[in-house]
Structure 1
Amino acid sequence: MDNSSGVGVIDKAAMVLDALESRPASLAQLVTATGLARPTVHRLAVALVHHRLVNRDIQGRFVLGARLVELASAAGEDRLTAAAGPVLLQLRDATGESAQIFRRQGDSRICVASAERPVGLRDTIPVGTQLSMRGGSAAQVLLAWEDHDRLLEGLTNARFTPTVLAGVRRRGWAQSLGEREPGVASVSAPVRGPSGRVIAALSISGPIERLTRQPGRLHSDVVCNSARILTESLRKSGE
């Protein structure tokens, strides 16, 4: 299918943004992904950085920029957060724990939607909170289905191992005990976009005393079912 709009520079800029949708990329990786000449990719990427549509991470790689989030919010077209509301409330009520949606942004993960436990001891993660990709069940989920090189890169200084991520892929869910914060346990499952790619992690979190040291045994079924419901909703909406 021809995706050309007839405006060459716009089409090429869109190719750069598409290439950054799944992960950060170096200039060489962008050249490979787009098939465009290196000088062209460099010129486009730098221009997109100027307009905050693209940013640079601490390793100098290109990542999607904050302006895209602002535009999506202003247009009301973030289907993930729109669809997540009812699912998060149902998950919170079913488990009695706080529920969140995380998306990856460079070397961090961002909470883009949440439903807090209304009373009692809870793990509070406000929308917009930026957390490390080095620990936590959501980080495991967001990394487990990455390509081999990206996965190995993400394991550097991580509090989980390749064996743990292999288990996440096999089971379809992740759990953590005090990885992100002492005393906090969590369970997460992948949310997939229409292409089947993992685009977010759906999580519940709370004190280990309540979730126990095997939180997946208690809650993996309901978390995975909620992630499937959200995935199906996104598929139907054509995100």
Structure 2
Amino acid sequence: MLGRDGNDAGLAGGAGGHTPLLLLGKITEILNVFTLREPALTLREIQRATGIPSSTVQRLATNLVAHGFLDRAGDRFRIGVKMAYWAAAAAREVDVLAVVNPVLKDLRDVTGETACFFRAEGEHRVCIAVAETRHGLRREMSVGRIAPVSVGAPGRVLLPQLTAGTITDRDELRKLIKQTAADHYAITVGERVDSASGVAAPAFDSAADLVGAVVVQGPTLRMPYEKCVEWVDLVVEHAERITRALGGRMPD
């Protein structure tokens, strides 16, 4: 609770000198330190990661435990289980398409090519959102379009969600999964359709699970391999926008 003067009278144990925004900023810094790779930390580790004074870290961590933001076991802290309860309510209200569609339109406007969002359904991938190019020469794409998950740039991104049976060459499948997971993007030229190219990147939810793949696709005439490489950072950036808007995080 904040006192009438704006100090952290309740949450920070009655210590003065913090404005509400400054206090919230410090709390955010502390919570951001916890990751899937390092889910449990000591006060000293939190202090080193944030640079916040030790006394402030101790006071805030103690109060965050009291309010359910953190849990404590011995000398180690972790994100509180109650946070999952709050996050579930938030995620339930998130309209994925409301998040995805504006991002696809921005990506289409920047590249001039069709931008789509695919998700995995069994052994296929399904287009659930699309912003079509304004060029007359285009690859036909529409919401509901189904394609094999084993081919094409978005398929490469979605492959880790499926079994090895979706590609006949299992060694090649493992290679593709490993490479795409390491790069966080995929490029294909003429793999599914002759003279067609695509650049895809993954979007994730709050558990770092794959939600779907963002892809820019078009004729190889306008999207040669070199152009695809040039657009990698752009596609990854837009996929990360979706991840952030969904309250997601990249896998550690």
The bucket for the TM-score relative to the shorter chain is 0.5 to 0.7
String of CA shifts for 1:24-53, please: whole Å, max 9, x gaps. xxxxxxxxxxxxxxxxxxxxxxxxxxxxxx
Q: Hey, what does 1:139 align to over in structure 2?
A: 155
Structure 1: 5+ residue stretches without partners: 1-75
Please identify the structure whose Cα radius of gyration is greater.
2
Q: 2:95 & 2:236 partners in 1: Cα distance?
A: 19
What is the Cα deviation at residue 156 of structure 1? 2.5
* AA matched with 2:192: R
What is the Cα deviation at residue 220 of structure 1? 0.6
TM-score (normalizing by structure 1)? 0.60
Indicate which of 234, 238, 251 corresponds to 1:222: 234
* AA matched with 2:224: T
Q: 1:112 & 1:224 partners in 2: Cα distance?
A: 19
Q: Hey, what does 2:105 align to over in structure 1?
A: 89
1:207 aligns with 2:219: yes
Aligned residues: 156
- Using a 3 Å threshold, how does the CA distance of structure 1 residues 110 and 203 change in structure 2: closer, same or farther? same
Q: Hey, what does 1:40 align to over in structure 2?
A: none
Q: 1:157 & 1:115 partners in 2: Cα distance?
A: 33
Indicate which of 111, 117, 126 corresponds to 1:101: 117
String of CA shifts for 1:172-220, please: whole Å, max 9, x gaps. 1001111221111000000111111011000010011111124441211
What is the Cα deviation at residue 157 of structure 1? 5.8
Q: 1:187 & 1:176 partners in 2: Cα distance?
A: 7
Q: 1:119 & 1:172 partners in 2: Cα distance?
A: 28
Q: Hey, what does 1:198 align to over in structure 2?
A: 210
Query: How do residues 38-49 of structure 1 correspond to structure 2 at under 5 angstroms?
Result: none
Q: Hey, what does 2:196 align to over in structure 1?
A: 184
Indicate which of 126, 129, 141 corresponds to 1:113: 129
Identity over aligned residues, as a percent?
A: 29
Q: 1:165 & 1:214 partners in 2: Cα distance?
A: 22
For the 8 Å contact 2:125–2:155, the answer to whether it is kept is: yes
Q: 1:190 & 1:218 partners in 2: Cα distance?
A: 17
- Using a 3 Å threshold, how does the CA distance of structure 1 residues 213 and 111 change in structure 2: closer, same or farther? same
For the 8 Å contact 2:200–2:213, the answer to whether it is kept is: yes
Flag as ranges the 4+ runs of structure 1 deviating above 2 A: 150-158, 160-165, 213-216
Q: Hey, what does 1:166 align to over in structure 2?
A: 178
For the 8 Å contact 2:125–2:148, the answer to whether it is kept is: yes
What is the Cα deviation at residue 84 of structure 1? 0.8
* AA matched with 1:116: E
Query: How do residues 74-85 of structure 1 correspond to structure 2 at under 5 angstroms?
Result: 79-85=95-101
What is the Cα deviation at residue 85 of structure 1? 1.2
